[in-house]
Chain A
Amino acid sequence: MASLPKRIIKETERLISDPVPGITAQPHEDNLRYFSVTIEGPKDSAYENGVFELELFLPDDYPMEAPKVRFLTKIYHPNIDRLGRICLDVLKNNWSPALQIRTVLLSIQALLASPNPNDPLANDVAEDWIKNEKGAIAKAKEWTKLYASKK
């Protein structure tokens, strides 16, 4: 494997030395482009008190190409599907090389705080969210308790 770009080394160093509150990101020893990530559910959201595991991969073309991020923990959210794929603009069209791993993870945390059922990825969840928001939030809380509780 080609040597790791300086950009990735710097970002990794900073993620470890100056971590974002509520977010951890640890590169794998055998592949420094592959990160194990945890994000804490934001306060006052349906995901409060949950700790969600994600995986993050920096493609060869990073930072020209967006990192690939996926939820490993089951989550009930209109913009996250059953496979954990995330519908988020900065991961797709609005990616810019000036963004970083930390900004992406912060955006994901913000997405947990404010789900957007009008631009859904998981259609059934979004429908539930629009028709019966209270019920949907209760379900999201239940799932958080079931699958994302601190161990």
Chain B
Amino acid sequence: MKKDPIDATGTNGSRSFNRDIAEIPLANSDHTIPKNNNALRNNSNQSNLSTLSGKSSNNPFRIKLELQQPTPFTPDNLAEEQEEPDSDFEIDEDELFSDDDDIFINNLDQSFNDLNISTSLNDNKIINEGGVPNLKYDCLTTNELYDRMLLRVEKIKPILDISKDDIILLMQRYNWNEEKLLESWADQREHIIEDVGLSSNNDGTNKFKNNNPFRDNSLQSRENYLCPICYEEKDCTTFKLECNHEFCTDCYQRYIKNKLSDGNIITCMSCSLALKNNDIDIIMGNNDSSNILMNSSIKSFIQKNNKAFKWCPYTDCQCIIHFKDTLYLSEFKRLHCSPFVTCKNSHKFCFSCGFESHSPADCDITNAWVKKTRNESDYLNWVLSNTKECPKCNVNIEKNGGCNHMKCSSCKYEFCWICDGPWAPHGTSYYECTQYKNEKDKDKDSNSSNDDKKLKKFTFYYRIFNEHEMSAKLDWKLGQTVSQNVYQLQEKLGLSWIEGQFLTDSLKVLNEGRTALKWSFAVAYYSDQSHNLTKIFMDNQALLSHAVESLSEMLTEKNPKILMEKKNEFFNKTGYVENRKHALLECGRDLLCKGICKPK
């Protein structure tokens, strides 16, 4: 991942913390599980939704329903947007690329819908995960986007009545915004033709004609030609445009090669006459070069329209997400949820801030949290998140497996990686080691300063956040084991591929649960600790945490037979994690919407 939210390593003060945490009671059997949690635990997904919606006055699903008729896209609004001052006919870079891109992009979609080209990924779910309003977006590659552009070129070809290569040049100049192009074309055609380099006025005559039949640019063989660029006198092939500036192809090739990655129009080396795609391919002797140029041009188009287009932030992923309703994005901020998109390679990220899926935290909380964590020192971060002393024999332990159920290899003491307490109570009863014990802390550190407490509170949450991040990374390793297991199931037990898929599904749910859990600690940190809803949120965290840990542990099983026997258990556990995650996300968004959680 390019944008790792934290630089994965630790803070000072870790030692003193372990002690504090160790004193947190582990299992609290008296603890009342919130009512809606009970409901969630036993009911199907559908009824969960109704239970929740019936309960909360500020419920996200109701808000969702209002969103079904998105106001920003009424025809009136569009008309307003389109009213543009068009008195200034100067071709100005800023003017060209700044404003009504949204409209232009909407039109782009329109034109492709007409042509029945749709690569839309999203299904018809009304509500995405975490109560997020449904998103409309495409996942494309640069080539696919270029193909779309070519369709647009074909569409405007009859209007302009010039060759396809000429239009591509114009589109390049106008950053693939055909509306701007057509507008300028109508107003100041001659000027544009010269500006783009379709004609040169060097000799005082405008040579450009529609579908110019005289344009005959091909390579020529010359003997003893002195190229004005390299000053080499040699037998060689040369190339020239209508401007008659002739150069050897060696020089031209070097020249073009340097310019391909810019994506700008390439001109004659001596004047502003443009080389068309065809010319470029003639000089380079292949068809790839103009493709590379077009690819670069499309890339710069994406950079310039970064409101609607975003690169997938994951390393080496070439996907582009094209978001159709950019005006819609502001709604997300208002509702404290984030526009998570998933590219073709299943990378899920937030379209607004570019981070990984960070719910229940919204972008503001994420930002505040990430900034805060970046201030911490890298080295100590590493020590904090990677090693711990065994609570019994003080041997230093580095965690190298995903589950938080630890067994010291020297004294065989079994303990919980998070709270340092014995593991036994965790497995059977209420799992409570994710809560920051505010009151305990008060008793203990009554003398210490307020700042100190704040720092301790932060370090506590940060440590848990980090631990879940580390666990997620180890889960990823676990994922490789799981795919081996799936393979083994097929090999040894002769099962079909589909029968082994439950493991892959479980892993996916585990990862999602882990991510949600991780970011929930950012929310918890910024929440008002005394508020009742925060307490409910923390209970939800504890429940999800418990569910995630046990699923993670189940996945470490290597014996294929046992795995198959446990298939039902996997289904149940996975569904449970899913439900718990959903409840946590809803609760988190409630905290945000009610202003109980806000970045300080």
Contact = CB atoms under 8 A, between A and B. Distances in A.
Contacts of A5: 230
A64 B258 contact: yes
B255 A64 contact: yes
B592 to A, nearest CB: 42
A6 B228 CA distance: 11
B231 A97 contact: no
Interface string A1-34: 0000111011000000000000000000000000
B44 interface: no
A63 B231 CA distance: 11
Contact of A61 (B228, B229, B258, B269): B258
Given A96-B269, A97-B255, A10 B229 contact: no
Interface in B267-313: 267, 269-270
A98 B269 contact: yes
Contacts of B334: none
Given A64-B254, A65-B258, A97-B251, A6 B230 contact: yes
B232 interface: yes
Contacts of A98: 228-229, 245, 269-270
Contacts, number: 30
A5 to B, nearest CB: 7
A5 B231 CA distance: 9
B interface, how many residues as a size bin? 10 to 19
B469 to A, nearest CB: 43
A56 to B, nearest CB: 19
B contacts with A: majority SS: loop
A64 B251 CA distance: 8
A63 B255 CA distance: 9
A96 B266 CA distance: 11
Interface in A54-88: 61, 63-65
Nearest to A93: B264
A6 B229 contact: no
A5 B230 CA distance: 7
B258 A6 contact: no
Contacts of B229: 7, 63, 97-98
B235 to A, nearest CB: 15
Classify chain A's interface size.
10 to 19
A6 B231 contact: yes
B561 to A, nearest CB: 65
B230 A96 contact: no
A11 to B, nearest CB: 8
Contacts of B251: 97
Interface string A84-103: 00000000000011100000
Contacts of B254: 61, 64
A96 B245 CA distance: 13
A6 B255 contact: no
Nearest to B233: A6
Contact of B269 (A6, A9, A65, A97): A97
A147 to B, nearest CB: 37
B527 to A, nearest CB: 45
Contacts of A61: 254, 258
Contacts of B258: 61, 64-65
Contacts of B228: 98
Nearest to B232: A6
Nearest to A65: B258
Interface in B200-258: 228-232, 245, 251, 254-255, 258
Nearest to B251: A97
A116 B537 CA distance: 62
A7 B510 CA distance: 65
Tell me which of A5, A6, A10 has the highest count of chain B C-beta atoms within 10 A of its own C-beta: A6
A66 to B, nearest CB: 11
Contacts of A63: 229-230
A148 B143 CA distance: 56
Contacts of A10: 231
B230 A7 contact: yes
A97 B228 CA distance: 9
A11 B269 CA distance: 18
Contacts of B231: 6-7, 9-10
A130 B116 CA distance: 57
A6 B267 CA distance: 24
A96 B232 contact: no
- Of A9, A64, A65, the most chain B CB neighbours within 10 A belong to A64
A5 B258 CA distance: 18
A104 to B, nearest CB: 15
Contacts of A64: 254-255, 258
A10 B232 CA distance: 10
B451 to A, nearest CB: 40
Contacts of A6: 230-232
Interface string B348-361: 00000000000000
Nearest to B264: A93
- The 8 closest A-B CB pairs, nearest first, are A98-B270, A10-B231, A7-B231, A6-B231, A97-B269, A97-B229, A98-B269, A64-B258
Given A6-B231, A65-B258, 6 more contacts: A6-B230, A10-B231, A61-B254, A64-B254, A98-B229, A98-B245
24 contacts: A5-B230, A6-B230, A6-B232, A7-B229, A7-B230, A7-B232, A9-B231, A10-B231, A61-B254, A61-B258, A63-B229, A63-B230, A64-B255, A65-B258, A96-B267, A96-B269, A97-B229, A97-B251, A97-B255, A98-B228, A98-B229, A98-B245, A98-B269, A98-B270
